[in-house]
Amino acid sequence: MKPWLSFFIFTFCTMAVLEARSKVVGDSKQTQTPERGGDTASKSVKISSVGTPASNNGHGATDGVVKFGDDKSSGMGINKMASYLQRHRRLDRWGNVTCGVCVFVVTEIRDMIRRATAVQTIVQEVIKFCVNFKIEDEHVCKLIVPQFQEEVLYVVDNLLLSPDEACGIILGDACATPYFPGEMWNVTLPDTPKPIPRPPTPPKPGAPTLRFLQLTDLHLDFQYAVGSPVPCGEPLCCRVDDNITRTSTLTSHAQPGKAGKYGDYQNCDVPIDMLIALFSHLSSIQDQFDYIIMTGDIPAHDVWSQSRTQQVYHLTALDKLFDQYLPNKPVYACVGNHETSPINAFPPPGIPGQDMGWLYGALAESWGKWLPSSAMDTVFRCGVYSMSPYPGLRIVSINNNYCNNGNWWLLLNSTDPCDVLQWLIEELQSAEVKGEKVHILMHIPPGDPNCLKYWSFNFYNIVNRYENTVVNQFYGHSHQDWYTMFYDNLTFQRPVAFGFVSPSVTTYSLNNPIYRIYTLDGDYANSSWAVLDYSNFYLNLTEANLSDKPQWQFEYSPKKAYNMTGLYAKDWDDLLKRMEADDDLFQQFYLHNKNMYPRTPCHGNCKTELLCDIIEGRSYDPDLCSKHINVT
pLDDT of 551 > 80? The answer is yes
Task: Return binding residues.
Answer: 217, 219, 297, 337, 443, 477, 479
With 90 as the cut, is the pLDDT of residue 104 above it?
no
For the CA atoms of 36, 41, 44, 49, what is the dihedral angle to 10 degrees? 10
Residue 186, CA distances (Å) to 12, 103, 183, 289, 413 in order:
29, 33, 10, 39, 14
DSSP label at residue 505:
S
Of all residues in the chain, what percent carry a pLDDT higher than 90? 62
pLDDT at 613 over 90: yes
Q: Are strands 393-397 and 495-501 parallel, antiparallel or unpaired?
A: unpaired
164 phi and psi angles, rounded to 5 deg: -65, -45
Cα dihedral 180, 184, 187, 190 in deg (nearest 10): 180
CB count within 10 Å of CB 283 equals 14
Mean pLDDT of all residues belonging to the chain: 83
d(CA 107, CA 99): 12
Does the pLDDT value for residue 71 go beyond 50? no
List of residues 6+ apart from 255 with CB closer than 8 A: none
pLDDT of 200:
87
3-state secondary structure 414-475: CCCHHHHHHHHHHHHHHHHHHCCEEEEECCCCCCCCCECHHHHHHHHHHHHHCCCCEEEEEE
Asked if omega into 478 is within 30° of 0 (cis), the reply is no
Query: Rounded to an integer, what distance in angstroms lies between the CA atom of residue 366 and that of residue 557?
Result: 31
Backbone angles phi, psi at 431, to 5 degrees: -65, -40
Burial class (CB in 10 A: 0-12, 13-18, 19+), 68: buried
Binding residues for Zn(2+): 217, 219, 297, 337, 443, 477, 479
Which stretch, 72-76, 109-113, 539-543, has highest mean pLDDT?
539-543
Contact 277, 230 (CB under 8 A): no
- Of 60-74, 182-196, 207-221, where does mean pLDDT reach its minimum? 60-74
pLDDT at 35 over 50: no
First to last CA, the chain: 46
pLDDT for the residue 631 = 82
Is the sign of the CA dihedral 31, 36, 38, 44 positive or negative? Answer: negative
Instruction: Work out the average pLDDT over 247-252.
Output: 35
